Amino acid sequence: MLPLMVCWIFPSVFAGFSNTRVAHSMSLFQLLLFVIGLVLLVVGAEVMVKGASRLAAGFRIPPLVIGLTVVAFGTSAPEMAVSAGAALSGQGDIALGNVLGSNIFNVLFILGLSALIAPLVVSKQLVRLDVPLMIGASLLVLLLSLNGVLGRWEGLLLMTLSITYTAFLVMSARKASRTASEAEQMEVPTIIGSAPNLLLVVAGLVMLVLGARWLVDGAVALASSLGVSERVIGLTIVAVGTSLPEVATSVIATLRGHRDIAVGNVIGSNLLNLLAVLGLASLLAPQGIAVSAQVLRFDMLTMFAVAIACLPIFFSGLRINRWEGLLFLGYYLIYTLPLILAGSDAPLYHTLSSATRSYLLPLTGLTLLILMWQGWKQHHRSPGA
């Protein structure tokens, strides 16, 4: 995974050295932070997944709930820090683009890459509760953005929903823990006995946040020197940089066999991005977060479509197969290319945009409907359905 990220990030850095302004601004210290940031992301994800998994086993809390809460909150911390800071600085495009870009990246790239490593098993709770909630949150943000701004009232609504969702998960986890305790008549470990695992989680979170921050700082400095718009910075470099904790966590969780944490981490992070991260940023922005027509027509709709796409794919067999992971990665490439070419009048940009709207999206919708129908038939044919 580390060579993959290095190969993806560093070509831009090396290309930038041809520009004298970039060569002057990107010091050796910043490049060193890039490398240290990547290492911290990988090591931090390994440490946090280990601690979270042990906590789940010790307290008999389902690993899925741990992935949707503790791990999701930790890996969403970079998004929250970046979007909140951007909102306070009046950089609304970065704050909004970070959330939208991260959610698109989380589903298409992270789940796609994880499924290529090993087919992912999807919990029924995700299909019945969390994915529909993610779709509902995406639709809500889309509707709230129709007037062209996300203000403090919208931010307050999103934050309230975030607190409500988190409280529901905690109550569900406690109920599941009590049920398991009564059934097994086993003593629940104390907080003191769980201190080493808690320290692992905290240490992993610290490394994840620091690693993402150092990597994003260097990436934003590079992109700004190249004259890229704040929208593109937020949707690509910043979004990918702040989502690297999710990449590391989900991939390592997949390699360690904790595939419920891998999927739950992505869905939980997306929900927190929409409700908590965007809600906090909207509350902090002095004039609210402006939503341009371009973002509303393309990026917001893409995020909503990606959220909807999860339901039929997850529902068909309650797993994400390797070919579906490859399909996700291909769609992320198709989404990213127009963003990279948007600053130019290249004919390829207009061709890709037109082909995506006119052909690719309708065909994708038809395919998803077929998958949903097949999954529904398989579910109702199975014994005890």
Alpha carbon distance 260, 35 (integer Å): 29
Per DSSP, 189 falls in state P
Cα dihedral angle (361, 362, 366, 368), rounded to 10 degrees? 20
Handedness of CA 5, 110, 108, 85 (dihedral sign): negative
Q: Which pLDDT belongs to residue 152?
A: 92
pLDDT at position 26 over 60? no
Read off the tokens for 238. Answer: 């910043």
- Measuring CA to CA, which residue among 217, 244, 226 is closest to residue 41? 244
SS3 192: coil
Give the confidence band of 140 by pLDDT, cuts at 50, 70, 90: very high
- Measuring CA to CA, which residue among 106, 124, 350, 89 is closest to residue 220? 89
Q: Which pLDDT belongs to residue 364?
A: 58
Per DSSP, 118 falls in state S
pLDDT at position 374 over 60? no
In a domain, 263, yes or no: yes
- CA distance to 65, 265, 346, per residue, from 318 (Å): 17, 17, 42
Name the strand (E) or helix (H) holding 347: helix 347-355
Mean pLDDT score across all residues of the chain:
75
In a domain, 297, yes or no: yes
In a domain, 1, yes or no: no
- Measuring CA to CA, which residue among 106, 53, 52, 43 is closest to residue 79? 106
Domain that holds residue 314: 33-181+202-381
- Measuring CA to CA, which residue among 323, 313, 306 is closest to residue 361? 306
Helix ranges (H only) for 238-300 are 239-255, 259-272, 278-284, 293-294
CATH number of the domain bearing residue 94: 1.20.1420.30
Q: What is the pLDDT of residues 245-259, one digit of tens each?
A: 888 888 888 888 877
In a domain, 323, yes or no: yes
Alpha carbon distance 375, 314 (integer Å): 9
Q: Are 158 and 141 in contact (CB under 8 A)?
A: yes
pLDDT at position 289 over 90? yes
How many CA within 13 A on the CB side of residue 239?
A: 32
Q: Which pLDDT belongs to residue 353?
A: 58
Domain count, the chain: 1
In a domain, 282, yes or no: yes
In a domain, 13, yes or no: no
- Measuring CA to CA, which residue among 215, 245, 331, 233 is closest to residue 70? 245
Give the confidence band of 161 by pLDDT, cuts at 50, 70, 90: very high
Query: Residue 358 CB: number of other CB atoms within 10 A?
Result: 10
Looking at per-residue pLDDT, the higher value among 134 and 40 belongs to 134
In a domain, 22, yes or no: no
- One-letter amino acid at 205 equals L
Record the pTM. 0.74
Query: Residue 146 CB: number of other CB atoms within 10 A?
Result: 10
In a domain, 14, yes or no: no
